[in-house]
C-alpha cells in the first residue's frame, strides 16, 4: 500500500487513509464503503484518531517554551530555568492630609493611620479604585494638628490569608486564592502558633544565594489561573516551618495599568489614637493628591515571558555583556519601560571598563539620582569586577513633520474633517510601541501610508520631516556641550549662497543670549570643502530673512555622524523654558528613516506636527488640466532659525556691525573662544 502521512491531522484525510488501507485488503476489494454500515465505524475510528493526534500534538508543543501556548505551561517552563514572570503592579499615588484635633475632648498625642484601605477614587472613567497602605503610619499631634504628609498609597484591595502548618499533610501548599496580586506588596508574618503574640517577618528571596538554614525567607511562584504559591524553607535552605506555626499573609489585589492617572481621592481609611486605639472620625481634611497615580502595570504577557526567560537564563544572573544588563536592569528596577545598554568600547574615543545604560521609566522622563544610585548598587550583585555602570539621562530624539494632505472635496465634508482624522491617526502612531522604545526606527514610508489611508478622500500627501534635540543650558557658567543626533545630516546649504532665493542653514536653533554679545543669537553652520564637517557660528537676525554672523567658530559639526560640539560658552538665558532652560536644535536627516542610536529615545512630537489640508483640484474635477494645481515643496523650509521671529525684538537689538549673510563672505569682526579644560562638558 501507499505510504501513509501519519502526521496528518485533517479528519477527512484520516478517514480517507483508513478507507485506502481497507481497500488494500483483498477482502474489501469491491466493497462500497460509503453506502454501508462500515462507514459509521470508519467515522468513529477517524474521529478517535483525530482527537488522539491533536492531543499528542498539543502535548508535544506544550513541553517546549517556544511552542507552548497555555500560560501555566509557559510559566512552568520559565520557572525551570530560574525565571519568575512579572506580576501585575499596583499604581502608586502620593497624598497628604491633616487631622485637626482642636475640638476633641481628649487630646491625643499621636494618631495612627491603620494599614489597609486609605482612600477611594471618584469615578475615573467607568471605574472607582481603592488605594491602601501595607503598614500602619503614626504621626505626632503638634498644636492640635496631625500631619500626614507625602504618604505613598497603592491601588488595590487589601486582602489577607492565613495558613497553619500541618505535619500530617506532606503535600500542603500555601496558595493565595486571588489573581492580579502585586507580589511586591506581599507581607508574610510568622507566629509560633495562632494565639501567640510573637511575630516575625519573613522576607522574599529570589534565589538560594546567601540563604542559610536559619534564614526566614519565602519564595513566590506563579501557578495556574495567574495565582501565586508561597514556598517556605526546609531547614537546609531557609528556616523550616514546624507545627503549629501560623502564617499571616497580606497583599494587594490590583487593577494594573487601568488605575494610572487617578488624581482625585476621598478619605476612606481608619484613624485611631495610638494610646487607647479609639477610632477618629472628625477633623479630617480633604486629601491633597501630590502625585497622581502612576507605575501601575499588567501581568507579564506570555510573549514577554518567552522572550526574556531564555535571555535571563543565558546571563546566568551575571552581568557581563550589554545584553545581560538589558535583562537584569528591569529585574532590579521593575518600573523600567525601556532600556538601552552599550559598552564604552563603542564610543569614540572608547571608554574601556564602562557600561552605559539609559533607562526610560514607566512614568516620567528621567531617573532621580537616588534611583540611579539604587540601581547601580543592586547591579553590583550581578556585575563582574572592574566594570562600572554609568546611568545616563534619557536623550529624546524628536521627530517633527510638516504634512500637506491633498484631498478630493467631493469625498470629504471639509478640510478640517480631513485634518482631524489624519491628526488622530498620527497621535496613535506616536503612542505606539514601534516608536516609544530604545532601538526604535521611524519608518517614513509607513508614516506616509498612515496618512494616505486615514480617509478615502485623501489622494496624496507631501510630508517633510526634521529631527530635533533639546539642549539643556547651564546658565551663567562657561560650559562645553555635545549634542548627538545619531543620524547623518542632509546638507541643503553648502555655505555657497542661497537656495530658491532663501537662505537656509543645515541646523537651526531657537534663540538665546550669551555673554559678550548683545541681543538674541542663534546657532548656524558652515560646511567646509569636504561637505562632511563644518563649523558652528552665532548669528543675529536683522530681519526674519537676513542674518549676520556675530561670532565665528564657536564649535564644530560632523554631518556624517550627526554630531554638534560647542566650545566653552556662557549662556545667560534662553527663549524657551520648559522646567529647564532649553535651546531647540533641529536638522534635516540624510535619510527619512530615522533610527534611535544607542541611548537615543525616538518620539514623534505631535505638538510640532503641522497638518495642512490642500484641495486636490485635479481629483475634485475643478482643474483637469492642472493649470491651478497647488504645488507643495518636498524639501524643508528655508527659514533661518526655529520659531517665530518677532520683528519688534529685532528692532530693539544693537545695530548690525557687519554685512548680512547673503553670500560666502562677511566683514563681521569675530571672537574665537579658547577651549578651556576647566569648563564642564554636557552631553545630549
Q: Mean pLDDT over residues 425-429, rounded?
A: 90
At 153-188, the pLDDT tens digits run 999 999 999 999 998 888 899 999 999 999 999 999
- The reported pLDDT for the residue numbered 5 is 52
Where in 255-344 does DSSP place strands (E)? 265-267, 271-273, 279-280, 288-294, 336-343
Place of cell 505606539: 432
Q: Mean pLDDT over residues 66-75, rounded?
A: 89
- The reported pLDDT for the residue numbered 678 is 53
Could you tell me which residues come within 8 angstroms of residue 197 by beta carbon, excluding any fewer than 6 positions away?
none
pLDDT over 50 (residue 550) = yes
Residue 94: band (very low, low, confident or very high) from pLDDT cuts 50, 70, 90: very high
Give the distance, in angstroms, between the CA of residue 604 and the centroid of all CA atoms in the same chain: 14
At 558-592, the pLDDT tens digits run 999 999 999 999 999 999 988 789 999 999 999 99
- The reported pLDDT for the residue numbered 455 is 87
Q: Is residue 223 helix, strand or coil?
A: coil
Which region, left, alpha or beta, applies to residue 315 given φ > 0 means left and ψ of -120 to 50 means alpha?
Answer: alpha
Residue 676: band (very low, low, confident or very high) from pLDDT cuts 50, 70, 90: very low
Task: Give the lowest-confidence range in 263-277, 599-613, 649-663.
Answer: 649-663
pLDDT over 80 (residue 116) = yes
Q: Mean pLDDT, the chain, as a whole number?
A: 83
HEC string for 396-464: EEEEEEEEEEEECCCCCCCHHHHHHHHHHHHHHHHHCCCCCCECCEECHHHHHHHHHCCCCCEEEEEEE
At 336-351, the pLDDT tens digits run 877 888 887 777 778 8
- The reported pLDDT for the residue numbered 1 is 42
- The reported pLDDT for the residue numbered 315 is 63
Residue 201: band (very low, low, confident or very high) from pLDDT cuts 50, 70, 90: very high
Residue 8: band (very low, low, confident or very high) from pLDDT cuts 50, 70, 90: low
Look at the alpha carbons of 486, 492, 496, 497 in this order and tell me if their dihedral is positive or negative: negative
- The reported pLDDT for the residue numbered 638 is 64
Q: Mean pLDDT over residues 633-654, rounded?
A: 65
Residues of the chain above pLDDT 90, percent: 35
Q: Between 134 and 310, name the one with better pLDDT.
A: 134
- The reported pLDDT for the residue numbered 643 is 73
pLDDT over 80 (residue 430) = yes
100, 137, 270, 271, 280 from 103: Cα distances, Å? 8, 23, 19, 16, 12
- The reported pLDDT for the residue numbered 683 is 65
pTM here?
Answer: 0.61
- The reported pLDDT for the residue numbered 652 is 53
Question: Which strand (E) or helix (H) includes residue 48?
Answer: helix 38-62
Q: In the chain, helix, strand, coil percent, each to 5?
A: 20, 35, 45
Residue 124: band (very low, low, confident or very high) from pLDDT cuts 50, 70, 90: low
- The reported pLDDT for the residue numbered 251 is 97
Q: Mean pLDDT over residues 206-230, rounded?
A: 89
**Which of 181-190, 410-419, 646-655 ranks highest by mean pLDDT?**
181-190
- The reported pLDDT for the residue numbered 412 is 82
- The reported pLDDT for the residue numbered 110 is 93
- The reported pLDDT for the residue numbered 9 is 66
Could you give the CA distance from residue 516 to residue 130 in angstroms, rounded to a whole number? 58
| CA distance from start to end of the chain | 74
- The reported pLDDT for the residue numbered 52 is 82
160 near 248, Cβ under 8 Å? yes
- The reported pLDDT for the residue numbered 496 is 42
Q: Mean pLDDT over residues 444-453, rounded?
A: 91
Q: C-alpha dihedral over 359, 363, 367, 371, to 10 degrees?
A: -100
- The reported pLDDT for the residue numbered 81 is 83
Question: Counting runs of H as helices and runs of E as strands, what totals does the chain give?
Answer: 10, 35
Could you tell me which residues come within 8 angstroms of residue 438 by beta carbon, excluding any fewer than 6 positions away?
338, 339, 340, 358, 360, 596, 599, 600, 601
- The reported pLDDT for the residue numbered 2 is 45
At 375-399, the pLDDT tens digits run 888 888 777 766 788 887 778 889 9
- The reported pLDDT for the residue numbered 38 is 76
- The reported pLDDT for the residue numbered 667 is 28
521 near 550, Cβ under 8 Å? yes
Q: Between 665 and 153, name the one with better pLDDT.
A: 153
40 near 33, Cβ under 8 Å? no
pLDDT over 60 (residue 664) = no
- The reported pLDDT for the residue numbered 138 is 94
- The reported pLDDT for the residue numbered 125 is 64
- The reported pLDDT for the residue numbered 332 is 79
Q: Mean pLDDT over residues 75-97, rounded?
A: 89
Q: Between 619 and 462, name the one with better pLDDT.
A: 462
Q: Is residue 300 helix, strand or coil?
A: coil
pLDDT over 60 (residue 658) = no
pLDDT over 60 (residue 440) = yes
DSSP string covering 64-97: STTT--SHHHHHHHHHHTT--PPPPB--EEEEEE
Q: Mean pLDDT over residues 221-246, rounded?
A: 93
ω into residue 244 within 30 of 0, thus cis?
Answer: yes
Residue 308: band (very low, low, confident or very high) from pLDDT cuts 50, 70, 90: confident
Give the distance, in angstroms, between the CA of residue 339 and the centroid of all CA atoms in the same chain: 8
Residue 202: band (very low, low, confident or very high) from pLDDT cuts 50, 70, 90: very high
Residues of the chain above pLDDT 70, percent: 86
pLDDT over 90 (residue 152) = yes
- The reported pLDDT for the residue numbered 42 is 83
Residue 677: band (very low, low, confident or very high) from pLDDT cuts 50, 70, 90: very low
Amino acid at each position: 500500500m501507499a505510504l501513509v502521512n501519519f502526521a496528518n491531522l485533517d479528519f477527512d484525510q484520516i478517514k480517507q487513509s483508513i478507507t485506502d488501507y481497507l481497500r488494500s485488503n483483498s477482502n474489501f476489494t469491491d466493497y462500497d464503503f460509503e453506502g454501508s454500515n462500515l462507514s459509521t465505524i470508519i467515522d468513529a475510528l477517524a474521529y478517535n484518531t483525530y482527537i488522539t493526534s491533536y492531543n499528542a500534538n498539543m502535548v508535544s508543543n506544550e513541553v517546549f517554551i517556544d511552542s507552548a501556548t497555555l500560560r501555566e505551561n509557559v510559566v512552568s517552563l520559565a520557572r525551570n530555568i530560574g525565571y519568575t514572570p512579572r506580576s501585575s503592579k499596583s499604581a502608586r499615588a502620593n497624598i497628604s492630609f491633616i487631622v485637626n484635633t482642636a475640638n476633641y475632648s481628649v487630646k491625643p498625642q499621636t494618631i495612627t493611620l491603620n494599614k489597609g484601605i486609605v482612600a477611594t477614587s471618584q469615578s475615573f472613567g467607568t471605574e472607582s479604585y481603592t488605594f491602601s497602605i501595607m503598614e500602619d503610619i503614626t504621626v505626632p499631634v503638634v498644636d492640635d494638628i496631625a500631619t500626614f504628609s507625602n504618604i505613598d498609597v497603592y491601588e488595590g484591595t487589601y486582602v489577607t490569608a492565613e495558613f497553619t502548618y500541618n505535619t500530617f499533610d506532606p503535600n500542603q501548599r500555601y496558595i493565595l486564592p486571588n489573581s492580579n496580586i502585586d507580589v511586591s506588596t506581599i507581607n508574610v508574618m510568622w507566629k509560633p502558633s495562632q494565639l501567640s503574640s510573637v511575630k516575625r517577618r519573613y522576607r522574599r528571596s529570589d534565589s538560594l544565594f546567601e540563604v542559610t538554614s536559619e534564614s526566614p525567607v519565602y519564595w513566590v511562584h506563579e501557578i495556574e489561573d495567574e495565582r501565586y504559591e508561597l514556598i517556605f524553607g526546609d531547614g537546609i535552605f531557609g528556616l523550616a516551618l514546624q507545627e503549629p506555626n501560623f502564617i499571616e499573609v497580606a497583599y494587594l489585589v490590583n487593577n494594573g495599568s487601568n488605575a494610572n492617572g487617578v488624581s482625585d481621592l476621598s478619605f476612606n481609611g481608619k484613624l485611631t489614637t495610638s494610646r487607647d486605639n479609639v477610632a477618629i472620625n472628625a477633623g479630617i481634611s480633604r486629601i491633597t493628591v501630590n502625585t497622581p497615580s502612576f507605575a501601575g502595570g499588567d501581568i507579564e504577557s506570555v510573549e514577554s515571558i518567552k522572550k526574556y526567560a531564555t535571555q535571563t537564563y543565558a546571563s546566568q544572573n551575571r552581568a557581563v555583556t550589554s545584553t545581560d544588563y538589558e535583562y537584569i536592569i528591569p529585574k532590579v528596577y521593575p518600573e523600567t519601560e525601556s532600556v538601552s545598554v552599550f559598552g564604552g568600547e563603542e564610543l569614540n574615543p572608547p571608554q574601556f571598563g564602562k557600561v552605559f545604560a539609559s533607562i526610560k521609566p514607566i512614568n516620567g522622563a528621567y531617573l532621580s539620582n537616588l534611583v540611579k544610585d539604587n540601581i547601580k548598587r543592586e547591579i553590583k550583585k550581578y556585575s563582574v569586577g572592574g566594570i562600572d555602570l554609568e546611568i545616563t539621562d534619557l536623550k529624546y530624539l524628536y521627530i517633527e513633520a510638516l504634512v500637506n494632505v491633498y484631498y478630493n472635496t467631493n469625498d470629504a465634508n471639509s478640510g478640517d474633517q480631513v485634518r482631524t482624522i489624519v491628526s488622530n491617526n498620527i497621535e496613535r502612531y506616536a503612542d505606539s510601541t514601534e516608536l516609544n522604545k530604545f532601538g526604535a526606527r521611524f519608518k517614513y514610508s509607513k508614516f506616509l501610508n498612515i496618512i494616505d489611508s486615514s480617509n478615502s478622500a485623501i489622494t496624496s500627501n507631501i510630508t517633510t520631516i526634521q529631527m530635533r534635540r533639546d539642549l539643556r543650558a547651564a546658565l551663567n557658567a562657561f560650559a562645553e556641550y555635545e549634542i548627538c543626533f545619531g543620524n547623518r545630516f542632509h546638507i541643503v546649504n553648502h555655505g555657497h549662497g542661497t537656495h530658491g532665493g532663501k537662505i537656509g542653514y543645515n541646523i537651526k536653533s531657537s534663540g538665546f543670549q550669551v555673554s559678550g554679545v548683545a541681543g538674541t543669537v542663534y546657532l548656524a553652520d558652515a560646511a567646509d570643502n569636504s561637505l562632511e564637517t563644518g563649523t558652528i557660528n552665532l548669528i543675529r537676525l536683522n530681519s526674519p530673512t537676513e542674518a549676520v554672523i556675530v561670532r565665528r567658530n564657536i564649535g564644530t559639526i560632523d554631518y556624517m555622524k550627526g554630531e554638534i560640539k560647542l566650545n566653552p560658552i556662557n549662556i545667560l538665558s534662553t527663549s524657551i523654558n520648559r522646567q529647564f532652560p532649553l535651546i531647540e536644535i533641529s536638522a534635516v536627516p540624510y535619510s527619512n528613516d530615522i533610527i534611535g542610536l544607542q541611548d537615543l529615545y525616538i518620539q514623534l512630537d505631535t505638538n510640532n506636527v503641522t497638518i495642512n489640508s490642500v484641495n486636490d483640484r485635479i481629483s475634485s474635477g475643478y482643474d483637469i488640466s492642472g493649470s491651478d494645481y497647488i504645488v507643495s515643496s518636498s524639501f524643508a523650509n528655508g527659514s533661518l532659525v526655529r520659531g517665530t521671529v518677532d520683528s519688534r525684538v529685532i528692532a530693539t537689538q544693537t545695530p548690525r556691525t557687519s554685512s548680512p549673510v547673503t553670500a560666502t563672505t562677511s566683514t563681521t569682526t569675530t571672537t574665537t573662544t579658547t577651549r578651556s579644560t576647566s569648563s564642564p562638558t554636557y552631553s545630549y
